[in-house]
Structure 1
Amino acid sequence: MALVNGNNNSGFTLIEVIVVLLIIGLLVGVVGLSLGSRDRPLETEAERLAALLRLAGQETLLTSTPTAVGFHAEGYRFYRYDLAGGDWHLLAAGALRPRQLDHDFILELRLLEEDDTPVNLPYLDYEDDQRLLPRIYFFPGGELTPFAVTLAADTVARRYTVQGNLQGEIGVEIEELRRPGGW
């Protein structure tokens, strides 16, 4: 004859529930970190561009020598105006050296003093030392050409816009994008 116990517990123990919640929490955290880090390189590049543009403005104020930036489809270059020679010279070294963007990044430049249409950015032929015309100018009085430079990538759900106004103020704006597929 079998003994029948009156306490038939068919539920989960507290330990089992805590372990399951801990596993779910870890999975959510890992997924959140992996999705959030996708736009980190793009954000870093936008912040770097803004910092370099601020630096160019500060150097222009300190040296009383105009500085400019030229953009192309793969990156950007800084120039300093030679007052004696009357020409723009590429800054090839230091913090304002030429910068190459990640090949996945999309760069768009708009000059806000004009009709606000995007500027067609050329691709450079690196075998030919092609000069890139400056588009944004920093003046010794602290002014600059009003602009908006947008950095985006097909795999990132945000785009970053670095903007500068006539008074020399530079900032970064973030825009959330709706992508097909729900992210």
Structure 2
Amino acid sequence: MPFRLRQAGFTLLEILVVVMLIGLLTAVIASQGNWTLSEDGLDEEAARLYDTLELLNERSLFSGQLLALRLKSNGWVPLAYDRNERDFLPIDDASLKSRALAANLSLEWQVDSLEGDQVSLSDVAENLVKKDVMAAPEGLSDQADEDGSETRSEDERDDPLPQVFFFPSGEVTPVTLSMLSNDDLDRFQRWQISALGQVSDPDNADQEDNEGSVFEEAR
């Protein structure tokens, strides 16, 4: 039986086929990027806001610390109540950084009312800070005043109190936040956080009840 030598290398046709496949794969990857990233950045910023709300609620529960979120039309600032400073200070954590929105995006919010005659959680947090209930053990505030150390009153604060509070008990200031595209008024994303810390999309309430958060499924 004659011995046949195996062909070495690739034919021109095989090389062309490989090049075509690589080009097709590159085009698919590029187009996939266009599907997952929005041109105005609204989806990405809405996702960051969602994660911030969830993380603040979880961290407050596990750390036993009063946390907050200061909202601005062009972004937000996660805060933690500092017992020594007796004030809300930015959180020193890469996962909870202050966020500034691009010029084509804006943030709006509305604090939702609680059922019945329940006291506003914002009022509760403000009273806690004013009375220094969470600042130190009993008597420490009086001791500080007697020693002549400086304490910051409400009128001396550099910034007003934040709008959303996250209590270690699991309660949260109920609020609805809207991320808007200034270039397209029809594009927006809303998140609603309840008094029990549940974050949901109020525009897809029925679907979320049956299948969980639409945003969670998309991620």
TM class by shorter chain equals 0.5 to 0.7
Partner of residue 199, structure 2: 170
Are 1:59 and 2:59 an aligned pair? yes
Over residues 85-136 of structure 1, what are the superposed CA-to-partner deviations in whole Å (9 max), with x where a residue is unaligned? 432112254211110111111211110128xxxxxxxxxxxxxxx5353100
Query: What does residue range 1-183 of structure 1 map to in structure 2 within 5 Å?
Result: 38=38, 41-113=41-113, 131=159, 133-156=161-184, 157-173=186-202
Q: Structure 1: which 5+ runs fail to align?
A: 1-32, 115-129, 176-183
Do the aligned residues in 2 keep the contact of 1:160 with 1:173 (CA within 8 Å)? no
Q: Tell me the distance in 2 between the aligned counterparts of 1:111 and 1:64.
A: 24
TM-score normalised by L of structure 2: 0.52
SS for the counterpart of 1:95 is helix
Q: 1:162 is aligned with what amino acid?
A: W
Do the aligned residues in 1 keep the contact of 2:174 with 2:194 (CA within 8 Å)? yes
Do the aligned residues in 1 keep the contact of 2:71 with 2:77 (CA within 8 Å)? yes
How far is the alpha carbon of 1:80 from its aligned partner? 0.3
Do the aligned residues in 1 keep the contact of 2:37 with 2:44 (CA within 8 Å)? no
Q: Structure 2: which 5+ runs fail to align?
A: 1-32, 115-157, 205-219
TM-score normalised by L of structure 1: 0.61
Q: Tell me the distance in 1 between the aligned counterparts of 2:58 and 2:36.
A: 33
Q: Tell me the distance in 1 between the aligned counterparts of 2:95 and 2:34.
A: 31
Q: Tell me the distance in 2 between the aligned counterparts of 1:35 and 1:59.
A: 33
Two-structure CA RMSD over aligned residues (Å):
2.8
Q: How many residues get paired?
A: 130
Q: Tell me the distance in 2 between the aligned counterparts of 1:153 and 1:44.
A: 12
Distance 1:60 1:137, change over 3 A: same
Q: Tell me the distance in 2 between the aligned counterparts of 1:76 and 1:44.
A: 15
Q: Tell me the distance in 2 between the aligned counterparts of 1:151 and 1:99.
A: 13
SS for the counterpart of 2:79 is strand
Identical residues among aligned pairs (%): 23
How far is the alpha carbon of 1:74 from its aligned partner? 1.4
Greater share of residues in strand:
1
Distance 1:96 1:49, change over 3 A: same
Distance 1:140 1:65, change over 3 A: same
